[in-house]
Structure formats: C-alpha cells, structure tokens
Amino acid sequence: MRALLPVLTVLAAIVALWYAGAVWMNSQWSYDQAARAGVEVSLTEVVAETMHQDRPVLPAPHQVLAGLWEGLFGQKITSKRSLVYHGWVTLEATLLGFVIGTGLGILLAVGIVHNRAMDLSVMPWAIASQTIPILAIAPMVIVVLASLGVTGLLPKSIISAYLSFFPVVVGMVKGLRSPDAMQLDLMRTYGAGAWPVFWKLRLPASMPFLFASLKVSAAASLVGAIVGELPAGAVAGLGARLLSGSYYGQTVQIWAALLAAAMLAAALVIAIGAIERVTLRRMGMAR
C-alpha cells in the first residue's frame, strides 16, 4: 500500500496532461468555427467548448468515461451498441484461444523436455518465431478460414492461440527443467520412472513459471482477438468497435472501446494472479 499515493499522483498527472492535451488539440476546431461564424471568442469560452465537442480530436477524460458508462450500462447488454456485448464477443474468442494456445503450449513443452531431438529441432524455431511479427498474418488466417467455410469464433481464437502459445512453451520448458540435479537424483533413488518424475516433481515445480507466462499470454491473446477482428469486416467485438469508430471519426467511441479493452486485460491478469496465489498457497509454494 506504500505505492498507493505515488500511483495516484502519477494517475492524476496523466489525467491533468490529458485535459491539457484535449484543450490544446481541440481548440483549433473551436477557433475555426468561431472564425467561420465571424465572432470573437475568449479563451475561457474556447476551453469550455473543447470539453464537450461532438467529435473532438482528443476527447476529454470525462467524455470517455461518459462514453464508457453509456456503453456499459446505458443500454441492454444484448444491444449492438453495448460495450458489454462487444466485450463479450472479444472475451469469448480470447478465452477459447487462450485455452487452445495454453494447452498446445504445455503439450509441446512436455515433448521438448522429454525428447532431445525435439528440443534441438523445435526450440530454436520457437524462439526465432518470437522475433517475427506474427500479427501480420492475422487477416490472412481470417480470410483463408472464411474461404474454407470456418467463420465466427474459431478464426479469431486461432490467432489468439498462436500469440498465447509461445510464452507458455518458453515458460513451461524453463519450469519443467527447474528441478535441480539433487531432486532428480532423489527421485531416481526412489526408483521413480519418467512418469512419476513428471507428475510428482517436474509438473509441480513448473507451476510458478506457468503462471508467470499465463499472465503474459492472457494479455497477448486479448491483443490477438482484437486484431483478429480488424480485417474482413467483423461486425462485433471491441476490434470492430475500434475500426468502425475510426471509419466514422467517432473518437469517443474509439477511446471507450480502448478503455474497455484495457479493463478486460486488467481483469484477465488479475484473475490469473488470484488463481496463482490460491494454487501456490495450497501447494505450499507461496512466497
């Protein structure tokens, strides 16, 4: 809690800067309007005016919050204008992709740890693929799958899965290898085969690593789902909200969708953190 005051100060500074930016960036339009109408405006009038334009260049924080509130609670959650609806569409794809990606990642990590040939041949590519802007293939995956007749949730989830896959592989390999030689030797003196060593030593030892990479991959799979909604005219989801906002110049809508996405990401990471704490405590590994 020692960090509470500094964090609040920083947040307050950000909000203040935001307001200043809103005044600065929106005033141009106000001056133009006034010049066109042939009236003089005072500075205070301009400042007041920049706070509630319809299509501001940079909406003021309270406008974004109002937009967010309107989107979350202003209508029925089944409405096409509700952020709850769009957020749910995105969350569905995110969660499905997260589960697929994490499952495959853990399986591949187990294979890598137990098979030397796989380790030597797959691992360098897993690391190299991290340096490749994977998101660039997102539109292609969507279109190709659509041409195969697969639409809806799955294509987006595949992109999410792809993004959340590699953090899990790398983290799990590290985690499954984390028991040291002494512990492995002890298991051998007990006469344990590969199977018990895996279930009773390697898997429990990898849990802290797994949760650390789960947090990264949850955030990554949300990014994947949002980007997956950008191309090919998706009609629902936070990404589609961003895109339509940018087409029609609805800046408040973009910022509200962005804020909703941020809240979703934070909720995912916090949820995983909570599961992590409970799990590690029950396993007696809490620090």
Contact residues: another protein, CB under 8 A? 2-3, 5-11, 14, 25, 57, 116-117, 119-125, 128, 130-137, 139-140, 143-144, 147-148, 215-216, 219, 222-223, 226-227, 230-232, 238-239, 242-243, 245-246, 249, 251, 254-255, 257-258, 261-262, 265-266, 269
Tokens of 114: 């137990």
Cβ 253 to another protein shortest distance, Å: 10
Distances (CA, A) of 30 to 20, 35, 36, 47: 15, 9, 10, 9
Nearer to another protein, 201 or 241 (CB): 241
Nearer to another protein, 163 or 201 (CB): 163
Within a 10 A sphere around the Cβ of 112, how many other Cβ atoms? Answer: 23
Cβ 161 to another protein shortest distance, Å: 16
Cβ 64 to another protein shortest distance, Å: 11
Which residue is listed with tokens 């029609």? 248
Tokens of 283: 């396993």
Cβ 261 to another protein shortest distance, Å: 5
The 8-class DSSP code of residue 136 comes to G
Nearer to another protein, 107 or 266 (CB): 266
Nearer to another protein, 108 or 134 (CB): 134
CA gyration radius, the chain: 25
Distances (CA, A) of 248 to 40, 82, 156, 252, 253: 30, 18, 24, 11, 10
Cβ 269 to another protein shortest distance, Å: 6
Nearer to another protein, 4 or 37 (CB): 4
Cβ 163 to another protein shortest distance, Å: 10
Cβ 266 to another protein shortest distance, Å: 7
Distances (CA, A) of 168 to 16, 107, 173: 39, 10, 8
Which residue is listed with tokens 């992109």? 159
Contact 102, 214 (CB under 8 A): yes
Within a 10 A sphere around the Cβ of 226, how many other Cβ atoms? Answer: 28
